[in-house]
Amino acid sequence: MSDTHFPILSTDEIPMIGRQALLDGIWGKLTKASPDNLSIVGPRHIGKTVLLNALVDRAKKDDSPYSLVIYWQLGYAPPQSDDEFIEQLCDLLYSAMGSDTSTYAEARSEIEKARASDEGVSLMLLREIMEDIQNYLEQSVLIIWDGFDKPLSQGRLTGTLFGNLRDLIHNKRHRLVTATRQSQTELARSIDVEDSPFWEMFGTNFVRIGPFDNCDLDAAVDAASISISQGGRTELSNWTGGNPVLLFSVLNSLVSSQQNEYDHKKVNEVASNMASALSDFLDRLWDDFGSATKNAFHLIVENGGGVDNDRIGKEEARNLLARGFAVRDDGKIRSSCRMLEQHVRGSKPDRSTLERMFGTWHAYRTEIRSILELRIKQIRQVNARLHRLVKRCLDDIPDYPDDCLNNLTSIEEVALDAVWQHELDGGNAVPQDVISYWTQHPRDGDNIIEGMMNANDWNLPRDRFKQLAILQRLTGSKMHFDPKSKSVSKDTYVLLNAIHQFRNRSEHAEGQSIHEGVAVSALLLCIELLSCLERELG
């Protein structure tokens, strides 16, 4: 991939080309009378970091209302705990303030010593820094969290952290901008994080960043200092879909050919050649998609004139449109990126055979996510939150097996809540006819039943393990107990009990990583639990 004129996927800072209208809109939201907190959402390689770096430069100008600008790239080495998150944020804030670093270093050293006995010391330091900012600075702080999806998706941060952060930021003069590949709550791994009032700070202020529009494309051509006819610009768009990496790669190739003017024929020639050079990158883009999105694109390609909107799922359409691979046109969705279309058409044949997909461990590892996605797509949603939590796990297969199981606790809790809502008719007590049956011999000698009898308490306990024990008896999954559930089966109990054990495995890993095959087994349990609940609660 040539970087002769425009740097692409570089480790160095990449200047923003185009996107001026988008940047102006973001800056307007951050500088109005009552500024917004903003969530910037866009797929990988679409230019979020480039945009945020330009925002940092804009916010540091003399006319900016922000006296401090904090840019934090969280995607490379995300904090692994609440304390790590707070301490790294403190480091960034203190560094930006230009205060006495030796004094701060001493404070940080004391925190490291005290943290083992007092988990709140890190938060105390952050409060002190924010108070210093509030007391000594006349203007606001702009905090930018780039790659925020990484720590969110790992599931190691808690709702308590976000509650504390909201208290320190909300209704103050400071503003927060986050950048993620999906919306923040879609990435949350646990119920307490998903339900945190922290997200209320953002309201509906989502800024979606997608492919280049015509104005951005014109700006890119102008920056290349070459002349391209209108027909050539149209072909440049047709080949790349406005995807920044593809677009700048073609422009680099045009610049290197050292001509003064390019018509549509020359653009076609160069773009066609670049499609082969970009094969590995196109593979990466394609592999980012789940099976449903891949199938949708195949359908669109097979119907050259486009496919009716209602034949493509909303999520699949959004995935393709956000990357510049499809556009909406007169009630249809059609392909808008000839490079990807050509790449998919020329991919290896017969990819659907079992031997090719699962004949080796590498093939199995590569393809298993698509199989899981196809299976979950067959299941009708009976609980939207539970469905979303399980789907969220699939994003980390196969590369992050430890992360993919981090929300098993939330999956277990939401599933149990759905079961009890159904079985107890929205109440919290075991039905009287079940109590009458359980208090007869030999069931009255069961340790769980005996304990409830002695306490004369037939309300559902809060402890999830005890709830599983009650479900075991309710479904007839224990000796001497006949099924007394309304519709929940032994299968549901067995799956939930197994998920509980996997949850314990992931929460108490003790340095032992989880193998991809084991993680897949746990996800299969979660998916089949959805299927059971579809049959039993639907």
Q: What is the DSSP string of 459-524?
A: BPPS-HHHHHHHHHHHTT-STT-----SS--HHHHHHHHHHHHHHHHHHT-TT-PPPHHHHHHHHH
State how far the alpha carbon of 439 is from the alpha carbons of 80, 435, 458, in Å: 48, 6, 11
Residues carrying CATH 3.40.50.300, the chain? 20-208
For 20-208, which CATH class? alpha beta
Distance, in Å, from the CA atom of 181 to the CA atom of 43, rounded to the nearest integer, reads 5
Three-class SS of residue 141?
strand
Sign of CA dihedral 330, 336, 341, 342: positive
Residue 351: per-residue pLDDT: 47
Which tokens in the block code for residue 266? Answer: 């020359």
DSSP 323: H
State how far the alpha carbon of 459 is from the alpha carbons of 375, 420, 422, 432, 434, in Å: 36, 11, 15, 11, 12
The three state secondary structure string of 203-215 is CCCEEECCCCCHH
Contact at 8 Å (CB) between 497 and 345? Answer: no
DSSP 202: G
Mean pLDDT of each 10-residue bin along the chain, 538 residues long: 67 84 95 90 93 94 88 90 84 74 58 56 68 66 92 87 83 85 81 87 87 94 92 95 94 86 91 90 87 87 86 90 93 93 72 63 83 90 92 86 86 95 93 95 94 94 94 95 95 95 77 86 95 92
Residue 430: per-residue pLDDT: 94
Count CB atoms within 10 A of the CB of residue 212: 26
Residue 2: per-residue pLDDT: 44
φ/ψ (deg, to 5) at 62:
-60, -30
Residue 10: per-residue pLDDT: 66
Residue 133: per-residue pLDDT: 66
Alpha-helical segments (H) within 68-100 = 82-97
Kind and range of the H or E run holding 70:
strand 66-73
φ/ψ (deg, to 5) at 485:
-75, 160
